Amino acid sequence: MQPKEQLLSLQPYKPGKPVEEVKRELGLEKIIKLASNENPYGCSKLAKDKITEELSNLQVYPDGYAAEIREKLSGYLGVEQEQLIFGNGSDEVVQILCRAYLSPETNTVMAAPTFPQYRHNAVIEGAEIREVPLINGNHDLDSMIEEIDHQTKIVWLCNPNNPTGNYIPENDFVQFMKKVPSNVIVVSDEAYFEYVSANDYPNTIHYLKNYPNLVILRTFSKAHGLAALRIGYGIADRSIIKGMEPAREPFNTSRLAQAAAIGALEDEGFINECKQKNREGLELFYSFCERKDLLYYPSEANFILLDVNSDADSAFNYLLKKGYIVRSGSALGFPTMIRITIGEEEHNKEIIGHLEAYIESLVESVN
Ligand code: PMP
């Protein structure tokens, strides 16, 4: 049985091998996964407490409208409740946007490489994909503007960008918004928002009033450490949210996810601590790269993309044998780079030690 034609060119998402399987295969005691940009410090105790309370209600469907977290988040962000939509991860908000706004008569503009789910969902909807290569890891906003025409429905900005970690500064963002026609949706995917420390990172919420075509995506999966529960959200003008709501499944975020998100929002201290430790981890990687003269992209997220000056897969396999799972750049459009999630200090130091040995082994093999 053939699925619809556009699915024939797509591969299902390939998750990394489960940690237990890798342990067994390689006979390793300890495996550290620094591949999926998860929070190495877990989640807030307040989130866990909310989950425990909610365990007595597992027989009851969740509130599809997610009223409690909606109210809390609208106050927290300073937006109207009708400006929010929740998804089973921000992945699902991407899917809902594509279902609601893309069709075979439309096109959609995005950077390349960027977060692959924009492309994936747009292909399923049969839209034409217009990809604009990054320049030095940054969105080429001028060229993205040139790709927009009367059939363009959505333009995707990934800020900070996955997998490079680069960010779009406020001034560039505003200049871009001014040039985009008002009937084209601009998505600012801010999955790593809580980790950003650059002073000129745009406060996009502030621009929602001027630009009713702006959609902001955020998630509880990264700094809040709730990836397992799957809850993310979109913030936009109420007319865009209204357009998306019919494409959302009735009970798409679980009771546990909604409860945990409420607890997580109450714990700013946890986020600040994770952000601080992440910065320190990034600095460790930066100084290693500078010492070894390795190219890297300065990151505003909780991962770093760095150049191993050799085949990314061989660096990946080397690190795997040492007990570290990272993301090889070969599948991400960077064949000599690897993406490493910033971990706990001990693990950052240990993986840097392994990387150093790997880089030295390359030099020896050349000599
Ligand atoms: N956007 C970006 C840029 C991401 O890196 C991710 C996670 N890999 C997501 C969205 C989706 O995250 P989630 O569905 O867990 O909210």
Cα 1 to ligand 1 centre (Å)? 32
Q: Is the CB of 223 under 6 A from ligand 1?
A: no
Full residue range of the structural domain in which residue 251 is found: 45-267
- Whole-angstrom distance, CA of residue 315 vs CA of residue 301: 22
**Domain shared by 125 and 34, yes or no:** no
**Domain shared by 74 and 172, yes or no:** yes
| Atom in ligand 1 nearest the alpha carbon of residue 115 | 3
**Domain shared by 207 and 316, yes or no:** no
Tokens 């963002």 label which residue?
Answer: 173
**Domain shared by 262 and 283, yes or no:** no
Give the other-Cβ count within 10 Å of 151's Cβ.
Answer: 14
Asked if residue 23 has pLDDT above 80, the reply is yes
Cα 116 to ligand 1 centre (Å)? 10
Query: Of the candidates 247, 267, 287, which is a domain's last residue?
Result: 267
Nearest alpha carbon to residue 261 among 25, 69, 30: 69
**Domain shared by 35 and 92, yes or no:** no
Asked if residue 259 lies in contact with residue 323, where contact means CB atoms within 8 angstroms, the answer is: no
**Domain shared by 127 and 186, yes or no:** yes
Q: Which residue has its alpha carbon closest to ligand 1 atom 5?
A: 162
Asked if residue 270 lies in contact with residue 44, where contact means CB atoms within 8 angstroms, the answer is: yes
Share of the chain above pLDDT 70, in %: 99
What is the domain-level CATH number for residue 245?
3.40.640.10
Confidence of residue 124 (pLDDT cuts 50, 70, 90): very high
The domain tally of the chain equals 2
Q: Which residue has its alpha carbon closest to ligand 1 atom 7?
A: 191
Q: Is the CB of 89 under 6 A from ligand 1?
A: yes
| Atom in ligand 1 nearest the alpha carbon of residue 37 | 8
pLDDT tens column, 291-344: 999 999 999 999 999 999 999 999 999 999 999 999 999 999 999 999 999 999
| Atom in ligand 1 nearest the alpha carbon of residue 92 | 14
**Domain shared by 243 and 359, yes or no:** no
Residue to probe by mutation, ligand 1, list 14, 36, 91, most atoms within 8 Å of CB: 91
Asked if residue 15 has pLDDT above 90, the reply is no
Q: Is the CB of 328 under 6 A from ligand 1?
A: no
Q: Is the CB of 219 under 6 A from ligand 1?
A: yes
Confidence of residue 240 (pLDDT cuts 50, 70, 90): very high
**Domain shared by 146 and 279, yes or no:** no
pLDDT tens column, 162-180: 999 999 999 999 999 999 9
Can you give the pLDDT at residue 364? Answer: 78
Residue to probe by mutation, ligand 1, list 221, 226, 299, 342, most atoms within 8 Å of CB: 221
Q: Is the CB of 190 under 6 A from ligand 1?
A: no
- Whole-angstrom distance, CA of residue 181 vs CA of residue 178: 8
Nearest alpha carbon to residue 134 among 152, 160, 108, 154: 160
| Atom in ligand 1 nearest the alpha carbon of residue 114 | 3
Query: Of the candidates 249, 267, 285, which is a domain's last residue?
Result: 267
Cα 229 to ligand 1 centre (Å)? 13
Can you give the pLDDT at residue 367? Answer: 67
**Domain shared by 313 and 196, yes or no:** no
**Domain shared by 26 and 87, yes or no:** no
> What is the average per-residue pLDDT within 16-31?
87
Q: Is the CB of 91 under 6 A from ligand 1?
A: yes
**Domain shared by 36 and 128, yes or no:** no
**Domain shared by 23 and 93, yes or no:** no
